[in-house]
Amino acid sequence: MNGKAKEVKHKWIFLAAVTAFGFIADIATKYLAVTRLEERRPVNVLGEYLQWVLVYNTGAVFGTKPPGFFSWMNPSVFLSIFMLFAISFLIVYYKSLKKDEVLMHVGLALVLPGAFGNLFDRLFYGERGVVDFIRMGFPPDSYWFIYNVADIFVTAGVTAMLINFIMEAVRKKPTAEAGAAEAAAEPAPESDNVKKETDAETAG
């Protein structure tokens, strides 16, 4: 240990590598799901607790739908536009990160390949929808939303960023409390009247 804080070196190479790996993993697994699975026919992996189930999702992450006030717009078009803005914002935010904000670098780098993977499906297979094929839960009816590898990357990235925010809040709290304690311990300055009375008594 040399006492130096951990830093992300070559942040753009790191981002490109994680994004490329995640994007390729997502596209490859979706291709295998489409070519090897029958739509809506479960294949047990760990009994009925983990299954491959091919579905085509025209909603957002985990099958959620766009807000009702955008009901006039095709969901794939709405979500594609939204994701393009989100990706642009994430890249700009990533650029602003300091080198020692390691967990934020990791979180954003994980979110991007997930966003690119699902955006790819929406742009090139808009009518079909995004390929989802992973189902987990407890049979017969207690299952989570069916998802894909891109969703895993997004969830992992968001989790990393939330952990970072919590750690930052915990780290700053003792500093704020120490500052408040120091301020309370400092003697209050004497008012001019009190000072004059003190001087007069001393002179008398």
For residue range 127-184, list pLDDT tens digits in order: 788 999 999 999 888 998 899 999 999 999 999 999 999 999 998 876 655 555 565 6
C-alpha–C-alpha distance, residues 83 and 10, integer Å: 26
Query: Does the annotation mark 192 as catalytic?
Result: no
Entry field: residues in the chain: 204
For residue range 11-55, list pLDDT tens digits in order: 999 999 999 999 999 999 999 999 999 999 999 999 999 999 999
Cα 157 to Cα 52, 128, 163: the distances in Å are 23, 27, 10
Both tokens of residue 168?
């930052």
C-alpha–C-alpha distance, residues 115 and 121, integer Å: 10
In this predicted structure, the answer to whether residue 107 has a pLDDT above a threshold of 90 is yes
Marked catalytic residue, from 132, 141, 192, 199: 132
Marked catalytic residue, from 26, 151, 192, 199: 151
- The predicted pLDDT at position 116 comes to 95
Give the number of C-alpha atoms closer than 13 A to the C-alpha of residue 174, restricted to the C-beta side: 4
- The predicted pLDDT at position 22 comes to 97
Residue type, 9: K
Query: Does the annotation mark 151 as catalytic?
Result: yes
- CB neighbour burial string for 10-19, b if at least 16 within 10 angstroms, e if fewer: ebeeebeebb
- Separation of CA 115 from chain center: 11
